[in-house]
Amino acid sequence: MMILNRTVVVVIGLFLIPRFCFLQNLSKSIKPVNVILMIADGVGISQISGGLYQNEKELFIEKMPYVGLQKTNSLNSLNTDPAAAATAMACGVKSFDGGLGISMDSVSVPSMLELGAKKKMKTGIITTASMTHETVAAFWAHTAHSREEESIALQMLQAPLDLIIGGGEKFYRERKDNYNLISTLINKGFMVVSVPSDTQTFPKADLSKNYVAFTAFDFPSTVLEGRNYLPTAATFALDFLKKKDQEKHGFFLIINSAQTAWGAKKNNPAYMLSEYEDFNQTLGKVLSFAEKDKETLVIVTSGYELGGYAINPGSKPGNLQHEFTGKSVTGTLVPVFSYGPGAANFTGFYENTDFLPKLKALFGWD
């Protein structure tokens, strides 16, 4: 009887394997209309594990059926620089430390967001850092100096952004060159608003204008200090971009949780994991949209792992024994989770420069 049961299992498996391969190939070939890329800075498998066990509840990434691993190294170091990591994902090229949207030869390279805009996709960015912070700036700015945020801010005048939400208003309003970039943005047809970091609502958008919402004069506060705009901003942005996309070319939205890395850099598990839970709740809003929309590809990843975080022996759910090996970027691989049409293309083991070629192939971009 035992032999018979095993035979049945093997036979059923032989029938299921071709069907699974067929469904996976079908998922690879289906072209999405919209793309949402969510980036939690500094987060590797251990940080995800910490978020899972510390809060004693399932994470929304568990709903995402496709998983891959990306190599995060830069061209000349296993321990990448955050700017180089963002450039690799955004533009498909390795760059040097501090380089945003440029190659090793300092030549500007278009990002996936910019290429999408050329195909008439609507575009948006949300971050818990400044709008000019390296992770998101790599998708719309080009410079060899990622720390020169006033210079980066000037590039917003030419950037193909329909919406951007984040901090760093000082880089636009009280600049060292005394140039009032806010007035210029308004004159160019941007709707510019300022909201507190704990806002639960955003001013109603004028769909005829591009939308800029500052959430802090400097850098936004932490979740532990009361900041909670990220889930609300995601819902607002999805509604805005969907309505603004009247010609049905789709939209491209980047959502960045920057302060997960800042918590790790401080070796502060409460800071880091509270930021990750905020990211998790935002992902819940995004997946709810994608489940209903059925035309949206959602990708969740990080540009690098930071801190060498570990959950040590003696840990219990809700009471973890945390430890960090340092305060810098490590060479650890980071996971990539994906959901929706085309998601199967982001499985396997690949370079951080492979995101753009995969999207180009999926959309048929030149």
- Per-residue pLDDT of 298-339, as tens digits, reads 999 999 999 999 999 999 999 999 999 999 999 999 999 999
Residues 60/114/153/132 CA torsion (nearest 10 deg):
20
Check residue 76 and give its pLDDT: 81
Domain for residue 16, yes or no? no
> Could you tell me how far CA 313 lies from the centroid of its own chain?
31
Count of domains in the chain?
1
Q: How far apart (Å, rounded) are the C-alpha atoms in residues 279 and 128?
A: 10
CATH of the domain at 140: 3.40.720.10
pLDDT band at 14 (very low <50, low <70, confident <90, very high): very low
Check residue 27 and give its pLDDT: 56
Domain for residue 10, yes or no? no
Domain for residue 111, yes or no? yes
Domain that residue 357 falls in: 42-363
Domain for residue 6, yes or no? no
Average pLDDT over every residue of 2-21: 45
149 contacts 108 by C-beta, under 8 angstroms: no
Domain for residue 22, yes or no? no
Predicted TM-score (pTM) of the model is 0.92
Domain for residue 258, yes or no? yes
User: Which residue in 177, 137, 161 sits closest to 213, CA to CA?
Assistant: 161
Domain for residue 27, yes or no? no
Domain for residue 70, yes or no? yes
